Structure 1
Amino acid sequence: MPTSSAPIVIMTPALATEVGRWLDGLAGVRRLSPKTREAYERDLRQFASFLTSHLGAPPSPKDIADLRPADFRAFLARRRAEGAGATTLSRIMAGVRSFIRHLEREGLASSAAASAARTPKKPHRLPRPLAASDALRVVDADEQPAEEAWVAARDAAVLMLLYGAGLRIGEAVGLNRSDCPPVSGGAMRVTGKGGKTRIVPVLPTVGRAIADYLALCPYALAPEGPLFVGVKGGRLSARIIQLTMERLRGALGLPEGATPHALRHSFATHLLAGGGDLRTIQELLGHASLSTTQVYTGVDTSRLLDAYEKAHPRA
C-alpha cells in the first residue's frame, strides 16, 4: 500500500514563527504589495532550503545569528549557478536582509554578516521611451488591431492612461467605474503599489478616450465594478494589453522595447524634456524615492547627446 512522503522540513518551528511575523509586518507596516511579499517569502524559503543542506539540519533563529559573510556568499554562488542574474540576486538578498533585520529587532540575530555580503552590481539600464510620434500612434483608437470597435476603444483608452497620465498597467486595469474622470479631464485618484493612493491629473484627451470606450462598451458597468472589462464582462487582464502592444509593435514597426511600461517611461521622459519638475514627476508616477525618478534625467541627457552627435558639424 503506497505511503505519502513526509513534507520536507527546511526550517525549525521557531524560525517559521518569525518568518510569519516578518511577513505580517511587510503587509501591515510597510504595506508591500501581495506579489512583493510572495516573492520575498519564496526567496526566504530558498535561503532556508539552502541552509538546510549547507548546515546539515533545518535552520533555527540561532543558526541565522551564527551565519558569517561566507555563508551568504555561498548561497549567492548557489543561486547564480542555478541561473539567477544580478537583478534577481539583489532582490533575493534584499528579502533575506529584511528578515534578518526583523530578527535583529527581536534581539535574535545581528544583520552585520548579511550586510557584509556584497551582491553583484546590477547592469545600469536606462528606460527606453518611445518617440512622441510613435507613442501617439500607439494610443490612437484607429490603429488598434482589435476587430470590435468597443475593444479597440477600450485598448486605446487604457494605453492613453499609461502615456497620458503615467499609470502602471496594473493601476489602469485596476480602476473601478467610480474612479472614471470627467470627459473634460480633471483629477483622478489612483491606487498604486502597496495600496498607496495618489492624485493624477487627467488631460481632456484622456477623458475623451475613456468616454468613447464607455459609449461603445456593451456591458452595464456598476460603480464599484471594473472600469475596463474583457469580452466576457470581467475585469480586463493586464496580459490582454500586453498582447495588444505586441501586435502594435508588428503593425507599426516599433522596436522590441515598445511595451505598455515603455509608455509610462515615455510619459515621464517627455514631461522632463518639456521642462517638467523632477519632484512633480515623482509624485505623478507614485515613486516612493526621488532616486527612482532621477533615472529619467539620464534618459533625457542621452537623447540630447545623441541628437548633438548626429547634427553638430563638429561631432
Structure 2
Amino acid sequence: MTGTATEDTLALSPALREALARWLEQLKALDGASDNTITAYARDVRGFLAFLAHHRGGAMGTGALAEVTVSDMRAWMARERADGLAARSLARALSAVKTFTAWAAEREGFDATAILSARTPKYQRRLPRPLTPDAARDMIDTVELQAQKDWVAARDVAIVTLLYGCGLRISEGLGLTGAEAPLPEVLRIRGKGGKERLVPVIPAARRAVDAYLRACPFPVEPDAPLFRGARGGPVNARLIRKAMQQARMQLGLPASVTPHALRHSFATHLLSAGGDLRAIQELLGHASLSTTQAYTAVDQARLMDVYDKTHPKA
C-alpha cells in the first residue's frame, strides 16, 4: 500500500479523519465487523486517501472525494498493482473504499459516481480444497498417533473431530469453555464479528470430547478453556496445525490439509449429501450466501473429475 501509517494520517484533514473513525465505529457496532476486518478496512481506505492526496497535491477532506475522477481511480489501481498488490487484495481494498465513500456521500450529500463505478479487478476465485470423506476419517485416526501423552492424543482427536463434525473455525473450537461440557446436542457458537449461530453436535464429536475429558488431568471449570494445554492453559492453534501436518505427511495428503480444510470438508460433504445451501450458510456462519456458494463449485468440479475418470471413451 502507498505511504506509511503516519503519512496516511497527515494526508487527511481532521474532518476526514473523524469521518473515517465514525464509519469504522459503525461497522463494528452495527454491522458486527471483526477486529481484523476493521483493521484491514482502515488500512485500505487510509492508503487510498493518502495516494489521492499525493496524486492531487493536497490534503484530502471530505469534499475532495466528490472531485475524484475515473482517471484518479485508474491511477490508484495501477499504482497498487505496480507495487505488487494482488488482484484479489486490490478487489478487497476497492470494496472498502466504495463502502466508505458511499457512507460519506450519503452523509455529506455529494455525487460519488466516479469511485462507486470503478470496476473490480478480475481474479480467479480460489476454491476451497476439502478432504474426501475417507481422508477426513484417516486424518482423525492418524492425529491420535502424533502425541506422546494419551490425554493429549485424546484432546487432539476431540478437536479435529469437532472441527470436521460441526464445521467450526479452529478459533471457535478452541474458544469453547468448560461451561459447554458435556457437549449438548446443539452448540451456541459466537463467530466472526460476535455473530451467534446454533450448530448441531454429531454423536461422534460428543463421544470424542467425553473421552478427552475423562483422560484430561485438569478439572472441568466453567470459566476455563475446555481444551487444555500441557500446563492447563488454553491450547495454541499452532499445536493442532502441527499435529495435522505430521498426520498428513504420514498419509501422503497435500499441504492444503489444514484445520480450516476440515471446515471446508464439512460443508462440501453436507452439500454432496443433499444439504440445503441456505442451511449450510447458517451452520457455517457466513454473512453472505455467495461465500457458501463456493462449495457448489467444488462439488461440481469433483463431479466432473469423477465423470472424466469413469465415463467410457469413444
Fold match (TM-score > 0.5): yes
* Rounded Cα–Cα distance in structure 2 between residues aligned with 1:46 and 1:146: 46
Q: Which runs of 5+ in 1 are unaligned?
A: none
User: Map of 1:1-315 to 2, 5 A cutoff?
Assistant: 9-107=10-108, 109-140=110-141, 143-182=144-183, 186-314=185-313
Identity among equivalent positions (%) equals 47
What's the CA shift for 1:144? 4.1
Structure 1 residues 181 and 188: CA distance shift in structure 2, 3 A: farther
The alpha-carbon distance between structure 1 residues 8 and 203, as it changes in their structure 2 partners (threshold 3 A), is closer
What is the aligned length?
A: 309
TM-score normalised over the length of structure 1: 0.91
Paired with 1:296 and 1:206, the residues of 2 have a C-alpha distance of 23
Deviations for 1:227-255, whole angstroms, at most 9, x for unmatched residues? Answer: 22322333223333223222222122111
TM-score of the pair, normalised by structure 2:
0.91
Give 1:108 shift.
5.0
Note the C-alpha offset of 1:10: 2.4
The question of whether the paired residues in 1 share the 8 Å contact of 2:49 and 2:60 is answered with yes
Structure 2 distance, partners of 1:114, 1:300, is: 36
Q: CA deviation at 1:37?
A: 0.6
The CA distance in 1 between the partners of 2:57 and 2:219, in whole Å, is: 60
Once residues 110 and 232 of structure 1 are traced to their aligned partners in structure 2, the CA distance between those partners, rounded to angstroms, is 59
Assess if the C-alpha contact under 8 Å between 1:144 and 1:155 holds in 2: no
Contact 1:221/1:227 (8 A) holds in 2: yes
Letter of the structure 2 residue corresponding to residue 57 of structure 1: G
CA distance in 2, matches of 1:33, 1:7: 22
Conserved? CA contact 1:100–1:109, under 8 Å: no
Given that 1:101 and 1:110 are in contact with CA atoms closer than 8 Å, whether structure 2 keeps it comes out as no
- AA aligned opposite 2:130: P
Alignment RMSD:
2.1
CA distance in 1 between counterparts of 2:85 and 2:243 reads: 30
Q: Give me the whole-angstrom Cα distance separating, in 1, the residues matched to 2:156 and 2:111.
A: 50
Letter in 2 for 1:218: P
